[in-house]
Chain A
Amino acid sequence: MCNTCGCNVTPGNAHTAQQKNARGESAVEVLQDLLSENDRAAAHNRAHFDEHGVLAVNLMSSPGAGKTALLEATVDALKQEYRLAVIEGDLETENDSARIRQHGVPAYQITTGSACHLDAHMVHTALHHVPLAGLDILFIENVGNLVCPASFDLGQHCNVVLLSVTEGDDKPAKYPVMFRAADLLLLTKTDLLPVLDDFSPQRAENYLRALANPAPILQLSARKGLGLDGWLHWLRMEVRTRKQQAAVQRAQQPLARPTAVPATLPNGRFERVG
């Protein structure tokens, strides 16, 4: 929903749009999202990503679900194929970005201090340190937290939520705002499933569907290198979609920037021209 065209007036709140104050004091109707300042910055970030044809992926989970381990495995698998970068969010320490850099891709650490989530402004500031030109995928590893990060748009194209099998399979029912936002649910550490008889992937799926979320669910173990193919395939599809959409956007730009029209290569990838 936006704050300009009135689409944020839902059947539930339409009556309040007409509210007037009776005592001669002026009542200003606003109907604006409380996070509109963040949303503006997020739209700005997204415009940057789109301009460069970069896929931005927001990784969210509770602390310790394996976001960084997944990124390490992903970087190793894809760094020859794509140009990657990572923005890390943590309250303190540079540990995670140091881990990623050891795998040979640029990583920028945001330390939030006491803030429990990343917001669009923090990511925007980080983008000054992460050159987008030539990049294919930017991973944003959010602060480990199943509550707050769900409320803040960063400008990402998709939300990947990790649920490790050492947590409960009813996490989607307990944290509906987070799991409703997932475009892909990854069940992680599934190599431990044989010894964790109280976690049922089927129950986790049922709880996700009960949130009316049709997102695909994949099982993997980054440590053991199990099940990564499905995740890597999903990423490749997303990159392809993003490049195609970026190409359409460039083609639709006025002739003032004729060099922005992309050339299609035989293998279906797009070459940047100009």
Chain B
Amino acid sequence: MHELSVCQGLLDQVASIARQNQAIGVKRIRLQIGPLSGIEPQLLEQAFPLASAGTLAEHAELAIESLAVRVHCETCGAETEAAANRLLCGACGDWHTKLISGDELLLVSVELTTVARQEVSNAH
């Protein structure tokens, strides 16, 4: 299971964003994980408390959005939804398709708790 190592990578990215923004905490981490990413959202959710313990993201909410698998047909041009293991065109049934969504493994955004802007400027 590689979700724990992916989770640790995620937390490194979050920590570096938090540092850049002088954050004192992380409220929410928004991810997008497609069914064809190779990452299981449930396992990532289980790994998160273990990996985040003692970090700025310890109490953060992990919000995972899963996008539908969609393909563009190179034969008929249709855009249709598909199953992860059956990427055929929903209109004409051809297999010459390109994936347009469903393999995302994205850190979308991080919501940070920062000290109020005024305090920051006073400090300078």
A interface residue numbers (CB < 8 A to B):
8, 10-13, 16-17, 19, 21, 25-38, 115-117, 119, 147-148, 150-152, 172-174, 176-177, 180, 207, 209-212, 214
Beyond A210-B88, A212-B71, whether A28 also contacts B110 by CB under 8 A is yes
Interface pair B87/A148, CB less than 8 Å apart: no
Tell whether, in the assembled complex, residue B21 and residue A28 are in contact, meaning their CB atoms are under 8 Å apart: yes
Assess the B1–A12 pair: CB atoms within 8 A: no
A-B contact pairs, 19 of them (CB 8 A): A13-B106, A19-B109, A26-B23, A27-B111, A28-B109, A30-B13, A30-B17, A30-B107, A33-B106, A33-B107, A34-B6, A37-B12, A115-B5, A119-B5, A147-B38, A148-B38, A150-B38, A172-B85, A207-B85
B96 located at the interface, meaning its Cβ lies under 8 Å from any Cβ of chain A in the complex: yes
Binary A-proximity of B104-124 (CB < 8 A = 1, otherwise 0): 111111111110000000000
- Pair A35/B105 contact, Cβ less than 8 Å: yes
Task: Find chain A residues with CB under 8 A from B21 CB.
Answer: 26, 28
Contact with A148, one of B2, B9, B36, B108 (Cβ below 8 angstroms): B2
B10 in contact (CB, < 8 A): yes
How many interface residues does chain B have, given as a range?
35 or more
Check if A37 sits within 8 Å of B67, measured CB to CB.
Answer: no
Q: Is the CB of B95 within 8 A of A210?
A: yes
Is A151's CB under 8 angstroms from B108's CB? Answer: no
Is there contact, CB below 8 Å, between B104 and A10? yes
Q: Are A16 and B32 closer than 8 Å at their CB atoms? A: yes
The CA-CA distance from A176 to B27 in the complex, in Å, is 34
Please tell me if the beta carbons of A30 and B109 are within 8 angstroms of each other in the complex: yes
Measured between beta carbons, the chain A residues less than 8 angstroms from B39 are 34, 151
In the bound complex, CA of A32 to CA of B67 (Å) = 16
Residues of B within 8 A of A207 (CB): 85
Contact B30 A12 (CB under 8 A): no
CA distance in complex: A173, B84 (Å) = 9
How distant is the Cα of A16 from the Cα of B9 in the complex, in angstroms? 22
In the bound assembly, the distance between CA atoms of A119 and B13 in angstroms comes to 17
- Bound form: Cα–Cα A28–B10 in Å: 14
C-alpha spacing A210/B114, complex, angstroms: 48
Chain A residues near B97 (CB-CB < 8 A):
212
CB nearest neighbor in A for B7: A34
Contact across chains for A26 and B114 when beta carbons are under 8 A apart: yes
Q: A32-B13, A209-B95, A211-B85 are in contact. Are A13 and B6 (CB under 8 A)?
A: no
The reply to whether B98 and A212 form a contact with Cβ atoms under 8 Å apart is yes
B31 interface residue (CB < 8 Å to A): yes
Chain B residue, CB-CB nearest to A10 = B101
CA A207 to CA B99, docked complex, whole Å: 16
CB pair B101 A13 closer than 8 Å: yes
Query: Which of B100, B107, B110 meets A27, CB within 8 Å?
Result: B110
**Contacts A27-B112, A116-B1, A212-B96: A177 and B36 contacting too (C-beta < 8 A)?**
yes
Return chain A residues, CB-CB under 8 Å to B102: 12
Q: B2 touches which one: A12, A36, A151 (CB < 8 A)?
A: A151
Q: Are A32 and B87 in contact (CB under 8 A)?
A: no
Name the B residues within 8 Å of A26 (CB-CB).
Answer: 21, 23, 111-112, 114
Give 20 new A-B contacts, CB below 8 A, not counting A17-B108, A26-B111, A30-B13: A10-B101, A12-B68, A12-B70, A12-B100, A13-B67, A13-B101, A25-B112, A26-B23, A32-B107, A34-B10, A116-B2, A148-B1, A151-B6, A173-B86, A177-B37, A177-B38, A210-B86, A210-B88, A211-B87, A212-B88
Q: Is the CB of B111 within 8 A of A210?
A: no
Q: How far is the CB of B35 from chain A (nearest CB, A)?
A: 9
- Tell me which of B12, B30, B85 has the highest count of chain A C-beta atoms within 10 A of its own C-beta: B85
- In angstroms, how far is the closest chain A Cβ from the Cβ of B78? 14
